[in-house]
Amino acid sequence: MTKPSLLILPGDGIGPEVMVQVRKIISWFGNYKGLDFDISEDLVGGAAYDAHGIPLHDETMAKAQEVDAVLLGAVGGPKYDTLDFSLKPERGLLRLRKEMDLFANLRPAQCFDALADFSSLKKNVVSGLDIMIVRESTSGVYFGEPRGIFEEGNERFGINTQRYTESEIDRVARNAFELARRRNNKVCSMEKANVMESGVLWREIVQKVHDEDYPDVELSHMYADAGAMQLCRWPKQFDVIVTDNLFGDLLSDAAAMLTGSLGMLPSATLGHVMANGRPKAMYEPVHGSAPDIAGQGKANPIACILSFAMALRYSFDCGAEADLLEGAVQKVLASGMRTADLMGPEGGIPISTSDMGDAIIAALG
């Protein structure tokens, strides 16, 4: 039987060192659970620019189209800030999402019991938190045309266009409703229908999809700014939140801090189902490349490890193995082991990036 294929793109900054810990865990599953992958590795972002002069080589893009899933570390860094916009590391990431047509970005925000005191919000507000933000990821203001910086008279001006089609809204809404059916059966759709025509269309299409095909799922609508406020006030009122590209970017980062650290949050970006029955997919931690701590053994690998757990669940039909890995992470955190980003006033046992990977493997055993 053909082994499932996985393309690993470590990227920049802390990306390579957290990916080393994921590789160790993949090896553990191969050795002890018989779960073998056909793994290839390549460059993206600044690393690809350094090697090829572009943030994503065409050959790497072709590989990404062929594999069952892509696992990405992080891209970017200050050394690339002066590059032309088209050459910045982030353009490699956006190209992957666009050309693979990965339209539904799943960003869970889960507060592990051991970290409930670490959140900036009160423990009773975040304890037991488990929400999923579904962010549309191939359209909206990040991709709309016209865009650019232009001159008019003696002044420059910048344009970005918020654009959505009915079909783009329809497909991400369906993804959110399907997820909700496997969770607590609630969806809150967030937009700015009070001031944006794209928001009016968004609300209309989400409601239509609900009424025609998902009447069993509880649906509510909320303006995105009010949603941000409610995430800080009482986040446990939400189950699945579906929203556009820009608002999803902002809201998911806000939700990340409810859990205590960006270093804890994974993500999955899913596309159309392929002939093998699996969705095209890319998995990556929500955090950035953190170049200020790169190479120092301070990075938290948990978000990248949990991204692999999401790959097990959504791409490889290995829900039991995903549960096992997530449970191992919970055990390690409960034991008090902490990377630098998780060392708060309550203290803990300080460990390195590599030590965290080893501890999770020990908990798996």
Catalytic site positions: 142, 192, 225, 249, 253
Distance CA 94, CA 126 (A): 32
Query: Exposed e or buried b for every residue in 152-164, given b needs 16+ CB within 10 A?
Result: eeeeeeeeeebeb
What phi, psi does 75 have (nearest 5°)? -130, 155
Cβ atoms of 8 and 291 within 8 Å: the answer is no
Distance CA 11, CA 60 (A): 12
**Strand 38-41's sheet: what is its strand order?**
38-41, 5-11, 69-74, 279-285, 266-273, 104-110, 130-136, 240-243, 186-191, 218-223
